[in-house]
Chain A
Amino acid sequence: MQGEALKGHLDMLLLAALAAGPRHGYALIEQLRAQSQEVFDLPEGTVYPALHRLERDGLVSSTWTVQDGRKRRVYAITRRGIRSLEDRKAAWATFAAGVQLVVGGTAWPTTT
């Protein structure tokens, strides 16, 4: 999926990935790629501004750790983030169902 199309859903996807447990940025991106069967393809560096934004909104928290002598930032979802994820998932389900009804449903009867 192209970056622009993915952009509107990136926050929800990141929260969903973090719901499985704390991750650093690289692991998050790999998880998104693997779980989506490589459907999601966006510039990896752009995930970090999204993570910072989520942190500023209190939906995720981060801590710096040192692993193998290297500084690494690990993100975790907060309680507020879990609530937000549930809301977003419900909204997405409604939206996706609506889109499916339009693009994959029965043809609308013509009036002519």
Chain B
Amino acid sequence: VADHYLIEEYLEALWAQVRWRVDAREVVDELRDHLVTTGEWAISTGLSKAEAASLAIERAGPVELIASQLLHERGARMAMPTAFTRLGGLASIVAGAAWPFLAASWFASLLLERRAGAYEGAPRVAWLAGALALVTAMVATAVASLAVCRRVGMRRNWAVGTAVTTSAGLLAACAMPWLIHLWGGLLGLTLVAVSALAWRGGFAARVWLALTAAAVPAAALTWLVLDGLQVGWVDTWGERPLVFGWTVTVGATLLCVGAVGVGCRLTAETAVHLRERPV
């Protein structure tokens, strides 16, 4: 009776109405177990599969009634697209697209510097400070928007608190770009945490989430490997600019693809207004 079309139709109808719940899949799985168990009992009393499936559905009650209770359950977490979802998506696309620009600028300034034959680090550092502050703040805004408007496992006040704290921390850290371990680590932790929450919350664009979450760890790994191999020259500060350049490139590329993918998915979602809620 488990795969009877009547039960499948019933569960699909329920899914269509409760899909805004963060735990919608679990809800449907639980009711599937209930229907199948009832159906098995009905078959053991001599009913046919079709009769057993009908009886199980009749005893479970109308889909609309169950969905109404599930959607209006006090404290239930919803992952419902709103007008703010699209805004978060646009921020994610812009922030994602800005990272390759940052990486390209780094390499360009490096090449110009080499051609000039002199170390002109200060302007580059100053430029990077501004660019990093802008881009990281945009990424933080985008991921925070994602967390807030989809409520991926977060209460709204927790999401807002996280977004504000992270943005403030990133902006403060970017004022000191040489503390890359600090702001890079902070950015990486934020991206991994929010991506994990969105993944757990059932956000559909999982490939893009994975790329976003992997960006900073992959960049860190690149730095460890290339620095271990002593790639490139050593500058007057004892650093290896080429190693850092490739690190930024790897991280920026992954972050670009991931953030743009997440942004496209978010902007494609049609906002659901409260008065248009399914039940």
Number of interface residues of B (CB under 8 A): 23
Residues of A within 8 A of B165 (CB): none
Residues of A within 8 A of B36 (CB): 70
| Cβ–Cβ contact B60 & A43, under 8 A | yes
| Cβ–Cβ contact B37 & A48, under 8 A | no
Give the size category of A's interface with B.
10 to 19
| Cβ–Cβ contact B76 & A44, under 8 A | no
Q: Which of B2, B59, B66, B75 is A48 in contact with, Cβ under 8 Å?
A: B66
| Cβ–Cβ contact B30 & A46, under 8 A | no
Residues of A within 8 A of B61 (CB): 42-46
| Cβ–Cβ contact B31 & A24, under 8 A | no
Known contacts A25-B30, A26-B37, A70-B36, A56 near B66 by CB under 8 Å:
no
B181 close to chain A: CB less than 8 A: no
Which residue on chain B has the smallest CB distance to residue A7? B69
A49 close to chain B: CB less than 8 A: yes
A-binding residues in B (CB < 8 A): 2, 26-27, 29-31, 33-34, 36-38, 59-62, 65-66, 69-70, 73-76
| Cβ–Cβ contact A73 & B33, under 8 A | yes
| Cβ–Cβ contact A72 & B33, under 8 A | yes
Residues of B within 8 A of A44 (CB): 34, 38, 59-61
Residues of B within 8 A of A25 (CB): 30, 33-34
Known contacts A43-B60, A44-B59, A44-B60, A49 near B66 by CB under 8 Å:
yes
Residues of B within 8 A of A26 (CB): 33-34, 37-38
22 cross-chain CB contacts under 8 A: A25-B30, A29-B34, A42-B61, A43-B59, A43-B66, A45-B34, A45-B65, A46-B66, A48-B30, A48-B34, A49-B70, A49-B73, A52-B27, A53-B73, A53-B74, A56-B76, A64-B26, A70-B33, A71-B33, A73-B26, A73-B30, A73-B33
